[in-house]
Amino acid sequence: MIKMNKLIWMMIPLLLAGNGVTAQVKRWKFRECLDTALVHNITVNQSRLTNELNKVSLEQSKAGRIPSVSANASEGLSLGKNVDPTTNSFVTQAYHSTNLSINGSYNLFNGLQNANTIRQNRLNVEAGQYDIEKVKNDVTLNITTGYLQVLFAYEVLSAAKNQAEVTAAQVDRTQKMVEAGKSPESDLLQIRSQQATDNLSVITAQNQLDLAKVTLMQLMEIPVTDLFDVEIPTMLEPTQQILNTNEEIYRRSLAVMPQITGYTIKTDAALMAQKVSEGARWPRLTLGANLNTNFASSRTQGSVVNPEGYPFFEQIWDNIGQSLNLGLSIPIYSNRQIKSNIDRAKINVLNARLNEQNVKNVLRKNVEQTATDLKAASKKYEATREQLRAVEAAYLNAEKKYGVGVMNATDFLIQKNNFFQSQSNLIQAKYDYIFKSKILDFYQGKDIQIN
């Protein structure tokens, strides 16, 4: 028994280690993040359901071209003096009666309202599909921003760690120089103070990275977990792009951005709605048909002297009647309802055209702003890279001087901090340039790729 207990206690660490191996961190690629967000995003799914409602309306309008048919049945009990529904004669006995009928109606003409309603609903379904694509584009831009923010935070953290490691090495070197009497103790205190500052920078950068991951997971609509991470691609250094003119980029974006086509179709749908309203001014021509029969228990068959019972099914068959009617309805005055509906439809058309133009204006402004921002980001990146080269040279020179005791710690730390700040500025300029270039490519219909 004692040996068995020892064996169990020896296996517990192995089991715990096995569980630790199972809970591995999943590294998400950009496309995986985007696909997950598109599946779980509430707004995307709501836009899909909204278009399903448009499809239901389309099917309903199509069914308006088919005759409507209804069946009716009623059962009644009569007491006292009443009229027999089968003979139209007075009877004083209690009896029960049954009435059966089938009615049909077909709209021959109603000012083309059915046809125009079908066209309008088809346009609504088509516009709804472009609305879905617009929402998916918004999600794509959000995921791109979140993913690049994580990559940016990783580079900032890496730079902070490198600076902390360099400072740690400087602390060891300064400690030895102080012990050898080549440097004052104040230099060691300053270097250690810088080491504490660099360690704080590492913690701050780590916190920013964790926050960026949380933001990305929330954009993906998945629970926040510590087992989440992204795959860090091999990002090439940004290169100078040959930009087209704003007008050329705008013309391309007009052809590929779904919101533009969607609002154009919505304008056409509004015009169809106006035609539907105007169709109410036309006369309506309908065709109707009726098949009916009845039964009454008071009715007899045969002579008056020796009446016989009249069976239910025989009476139902004998009492069958048919009718066919053609109806014409001419609108003369409807308390201005038709006129008001037409006026509303015309206003909706004007509003739809304004919405279409507004979407085009917003797109043009976004293209112009993004193109301008990209040019500025390109210049900033090049200038920041040149600045880093100059600051790095000054820092390496200061490091040599400090190593041989020619430069004091204060001047050295100034050069070191300038170098770290230049590195941070370059990372920020780099990702700002990458993001702006991705957005401009997106406006031109190019897929966003981060690799």
Do the beta carbons of residue 163 and residue 155 sit within 8 Å?
Answer: no
Do the beta carbons of residue 59 and residue 93 sit within 8 Å?
Answer: no
Residue 10 scores a pLDDT above 90: no
pTM across the whole model: 0.83
Q: Mean pLDDT, to the nearest integer, of 45-60? A: 96
pLDDT bucket at 90, cuts 50 / 70 / 90: confident
Q: Out of 50-64, 303-317, 319-333, which region has the weakest mean confidence (pLDDT)? A: 303-317
pLDDT at position 301 is 62
pLDDT bucket at 18, cuts 50 / 70 / 90: very low
pLDDT bucket at 26, cuts 50 / 70 / 90: confident
The 3-class secondary structure across the chain, one letter per residue, is: CHHHHHHHHHHHHHHHHHHHHHCCCEEECHHHHHHHHHHHCHHHHHHHHHHHHHHHHHHHHHHCCCCEEEEEEEEEEECCCEECCCCCCEECCCEEEEEEEEEEEEEEECCCHHHHHHHHHHHHHHHHHHHHHHHHHHHHHHHHHHHHHHHHHHHHHHHHHHHHHHHHHHHHHHHHHHHCCCCCHHHHHHHHHHHHHHHHHHHHHHHHHHHHHHHHHHHCCCCCCCCEEECCCCCCCCCCCCCCCHHHHHHHHHHHCHHHHHHHHHHHHHHHHHHHHHHHHCCEEEEEEEEEEEEECCCEECCCCCCEECCHHHHHHHCCEEEEEEEEECCCCCCCHHHHHHHHHHHHHHHHHHHHHHHHHHHHHHHHHHHHHHHHHHHHHHHHHHHHHHHHHHHHHHHHHHHCCCCCHHHHHHHHHHHHHHHHHHHHHHHHHHHHHHHHHHHCCCCCCCC
Q: Out of 212-216, 264-268, 399-403, 426-430, which region has the weakest mean confidence (pLDDT)? A: 399-403
Q: Which has more pLDDT, 298 or 323?
A: 323
Do the beta carbons of residue 257 and residue 307 sit within 8 Å?
Answer: no
pLDDT bucket at 407, cuts 50 / 70 / 90: confident
First to last CA, the chain: 59
* Domains identified in the chain and CATH numbers: 27-66+111-282+335-443 (1.20.1600.10), 72-109+286-330 (no CATH)
Do the beta carbons of residue 118 and residue 16 sit within 8 Å?
Answer: no
Q: Which has more pLDDT, 451 or 269?
A: 269
Q: Mean pLDDT, to the nearest integer, of 83-95? A: 70
Q: What is the pLDDT of residues 150-197, one digit of tens each?
A: 999 999 999 999 999 988 988 888 888 888 877 788 888 888 998 999
pLDDT bucket at 57, cuts 50 / 70 / 90: very high
Q: What is the pLDDT of residues 348-359, one digit of tens each?
A: 999 999 999 999
Q: What is the pLDDT of residues 313-328, one digit of tens each?
A: 888 888 888 999 999 9
pLDDT bucket at 86, cuts 50 / 70 / 90: low
Q: Mean pLDDT, to the nearest integer, of 369-384? A: 92
